[in-house]
């Protein structure tokens, strides 16, 4: 919302959710047309080895760097402990269907976190000054917002794994599941984005939890819940990364030894990345524009356009032809903007409104904001 503008951001969320819904169904249709049962094999049959290699890199990178846990107290110790205790054992499962109940728990915790964000929008929001441009329709960084939204919605890299775990899997059944899943997802995303932005407007950080004060016990519980959702979600992503390695280097099948070895290596390197990165904003943007955009917009459309024998006026082909250039624009310009204008992160420092003397109850100008920020920095230094 901060990058795109509040009204445009809401519209973009619905648009990205629609494209996600469409492309997920398009992938399974492409698999049916080509007689393949995985994203990699679909691209390999459609575009040969170069396409297969490119997709493998994208599928490997997206889930591989999706684990930037952000815990402020004893952060490094907690990440290592939780990884060894929970993430690694769960990632060693061979059957993705066994993670169904774990994913359900993660979904419940997401709803709990949403409740906390909504509660603080009511209790905290009125006490935080609003930026002058808080309610403009659109802002110039909208493409960066699309990158983050793409990151939030993408699940294309594991859709064939999930499709294969369904009983009596058909395109019609898959379509119903996707429609319902995306509808619930966009509803949650809109509530999160709206409540978070209404609370902090122009002060919104790349990681929303960095906006809240350390003394807020309810939000601290929310951070804990968020950490648990990451722990419970990452094993599903590890499935995809491991499958890519298995398909590229081991012919699709791993012995028990290599299954354990590759899983441990993946988790170790991903944990190292999460130890070095403490700001979600840049991770979400770069991963969104470099990995999520081609996986959502470009590759499914290209595969379907090449495989389908439907007339050019068919709705699926028309939408696919629109998605391709849009995906290229998001990927190229989103990368440039993410590098030149990354999202802000306070890296665990208290925001100025956490000190009551600095909080104003009226809209503030940029000059007032700069003065207030300088005063808050002095206060932070004093309290430290």
- 87-134 tens-digit pLDDT: 888 888 887 777 778 888 888 999 999 999 999 999 999 988 888 888
The helix/strand/coil state of 201 is helix
Closest listed residue to residue 158, CA positions, set 271, 28, 308? 28
Q: What number is the average pLDDT over the span 52-64? A: 79
- Per-residue confidence band for 231, with pLDDT thresholds at 50, 70 and 90: confident
Handedness of CA 183, 327, 205, 63 (dihedral sign): positive
Higher per-residue pLDDT: 375 or 130:
130
Q: What number is the average pLDDT over the span 273-299? A: 81
- Per-residue confidence band for 344, with pLDDT thresholds at 50, 70 and 90: low
Higher per-residue pLDDT: 359 or 111:
111
Give one DSSP letter per residue of 32-65, joined into a string: HHHT--SHHHHHHHHHHHHHHHHHHHHHHHHHHT
CATH annotation of 6-348: 1.20.1740.10
Q: Express each pLDDT in 132-173 by its tens digit.
A: 888 899 998 898 889 889 888 888 877 888 888 888 889 999
Domain with CATH 1.20.1740.10 in the chain: 6-348
What's the confidence (pLDDT) of residue 71?
A: 42
Query: Is the predicted pLDDT of residue 380 greater than 70, yes or no?
Result: no
CA 263, CA 241: separation in Å to the nearest integer? 9
Query: Is the predicted pLDDT of residue 358 greater than 60, yes or no?
Result: no
Higher per-residue pLDDT: 193 or 78:
193
Query: Is the predicted pLDDT of residue 383 greater than 50, yes or no?
Result: no
Q: Express each pLDDT in 202-216 by its tens digit.
A: 888 878 888 898 889
The token duo for 288 is: 């969104």
Give CA torsion, residues 234, 64, 192, 115, to 10 deg: 20
Beta-ladder partners of 364? 131
Closest listed residue to residue 289, CA positions, set 147, 143, 140, 146? 147
Residue 268 contacts by C-beta under 8 Å, 6 or more apart in sequence? none
Model confidence, pTM: 0.78
Q: Could you give phi then psi for residue 216, rounded to 5 degrees?
A: -85, 100
Helical residues (DSSP H) of the chain, grouped into ranges? 6-34, 39-64, 75-82, 88-91, 100-123, 142-153, 159-165, 171-200, 217-249, 256-276, 280-287, 293, 299-307, 315-340, 366-383
Give CA torsion, residues 333, 338, 340, 342, to 10 deg: 150
Residue bearing tokens 């949650």: 188
């Amino acid at each position: 919302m901060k990058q795109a503008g509040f009204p445009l951001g809401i519209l973009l969320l619905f648009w990205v959710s629609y494209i996600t819904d469409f492309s997920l169904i398009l992938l399974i249709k492409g698999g049916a047309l080509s007689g393949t049962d995985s994203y990699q094999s679909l691209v390999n049959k459609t575009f040969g080895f170069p396409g297969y290699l490119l997709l493998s890199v994208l599928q490997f990178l997206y889930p591989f760097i999706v684990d930037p846990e952000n815990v402020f107290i004893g952060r490094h110790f907690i990440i290592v402990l939780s990884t060894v205790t929970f993430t690694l054992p769960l990632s060693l499962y061979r059957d993705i269907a066994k993670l169904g109940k774990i994913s359900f728990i993660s979904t419940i915790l997401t709803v709990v976190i949403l409740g906390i964000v909504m509660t603080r929008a009511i209790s905290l929001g009125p006490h935080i000054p609003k930026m002058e441009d808080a309610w403009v329709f659109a802002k110039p960084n909208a493409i960066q917002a699309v990158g983050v939204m793409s990151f939030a919605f993408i699940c294309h890299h594991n859709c064939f794994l999930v499709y294969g775990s369904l009983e009596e899997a058909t395109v019609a059944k898959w379509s119903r599941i996707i429609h319902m899943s995306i509808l619930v997802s966009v509803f949650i995303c809109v509530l999160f984005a709206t409540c978070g932005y209404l609370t902090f407007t122009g002060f919104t950080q790349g990681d929303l939890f960095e906006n809240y004060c350390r003394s807020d016990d309810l939000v601290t519980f929310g951070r804990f819940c968020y950490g648990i959702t990451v722990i419970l979600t990452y094993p599903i992503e590890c499935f995809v990364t491991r499958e890519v390695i298995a398909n590229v280097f081991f012919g699709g099948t791993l012995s028990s030894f290599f299954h354990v070895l590759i899983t441990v290596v993946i988790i170790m390197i991903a944990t190292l990345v999460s130890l070095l990165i403490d700001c979600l904003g840049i991770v979400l943007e770069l991963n969104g524009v470099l990995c999520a955009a081609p996986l959502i917009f470009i590759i499914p459309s290209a595969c379907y356009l090449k495989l389908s024998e439907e007339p050019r006026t068919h709705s699926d082909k028309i939408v696919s032809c629109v998605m391709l250039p849009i995906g290229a624009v998001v990927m190229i310009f989103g990368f440039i903007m993410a590098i030149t204008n990354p999202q802000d992160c306070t890296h665990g420092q208290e925001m100025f409104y956490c000190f009551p003397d600095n909080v104003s109850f009226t809209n503030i100008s940029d000059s007032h904001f700069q003065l207030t920020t300088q005063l808050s920095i002095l206060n932070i230094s004093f309290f430290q």
